[in-house]
Amino acid sequence: MTDVSDWWRTSIIEMEPGKIHLRGHPIQDLIGTRSFSEMIWMMVRGDMPSPAQSKLFEAALVAAVDHGPQAPSIAAARMAVTCGLPLNNAMASAVNMLGDVHGGAGEQAVEMYHHIQEFDGDLAAALDDWMALRGKIIPGFGHRFHTPIDPRAPRLMTLVEEAVKADACCGAFLAIARGVENELAVRKNRPIPMNIDGATAVIYAELGFAPPLARGLFCLSRSVGILAHSWEQMQQGGRNKGPTPPHYRWTYDKP
């Protein structure tokens, strides 16, 4: 390190008084000409998406914005507001809950799709190998609430098909995901359809996003719902609301 300026290194932003360039683009040229989803892509990837890529990317972001106050992260945000926290703290509390179990299935599904693509063998064998490594739960398929079908997934897959026709992506991961869906149906003797995590994972894999970015992008998307619920709870009021109404009691396991 030859100078204090080398302490941090970035190709994302160049800034000095009166100048802000993001990935080489003057900020004033981006304002009013680029969408928020395009900016997310550019900041993370460094280039600009094509119109067809941008449409598909934005669809994935829109699809995952909210899933109601029964979702642990949304519930945490609303409870945080009733404890007197401002919006930023409520949002941070919620995003911090988006871990491997609640919020991580999209990343895991992208990893699984890549595993199947790179596996030396057929899809069934690849799926068996994945389960031997990662356990019996297949990320991105089935839904405990949306039965028989998560309404978001078919719409997203239709948009992927359109994107393939527009040369925005190749369709390889779409084929893999549908193969997994078919294989699970055979094994379980009933449909185990793709859910929102499996569907957005197809999109992020098709568009070339690394698996960890699938979780980061989900956090960005779900932050919209978190903000909306936090703000709504502020308007409704309430103090120190816990996960259940006060007259409900937990089960006490006697010593």
Nearest Cα to 50, choosing from 215, 213, 206? 206
Residue 84 in domain: no
Give residue 148's pLDDT.
Answer: 85
Q: How many domains, in total, are found in the chain? A: 1
Helices 105-118 & 172-188, crossing angle to 10 degrees? 100
Question: Cα(95)–Cα(229) distance, rounded to whole angstroms?
Answer: 13
Stretches where the chain sits below pLDDT 70 are 1
Residue 61 in domain: no
**Rounded to 5 degrees, what angle do the CA atoms 97, 234, 238 make?**
95
Structural contact between residues 194 and 176, judged by C-beta atoms closer than 8 angstroms: no
Q: Output the domain CATH number for residue 110.
A: 1.10.230.10
Give residue 3's pLDDT.
Answer: 82
Give residue 1's pLDDT.
Answer: 58
- Reported for 181-186, long-range contacts at CB under 8 A and 24+ positions apart, including other chains, are 181/141, 183/123, 183/124, 183/127, 184/138, 184/141, 184/142
Domain range for 194 = 105-213
Q: Provide the whole-model pTM.
A: 0.94
Residue 63 in domain: no
Residue 20 in domain: no
Question: Cα(94)–Cα(78) distance, rounded to whole angstroms?
Answer: 9
Per-residue pLDDT tens for 94-136? 999 999 999 999 999 999 999 999 998 899 999 999 999 999 9
Structural contact between residues 131 and 138, judged by C-beta atoms closer than 8 angstroms: yes
The contacts of residue 184 (CB under 8 Å, 6+ apart) are 138, 141, 142, 192
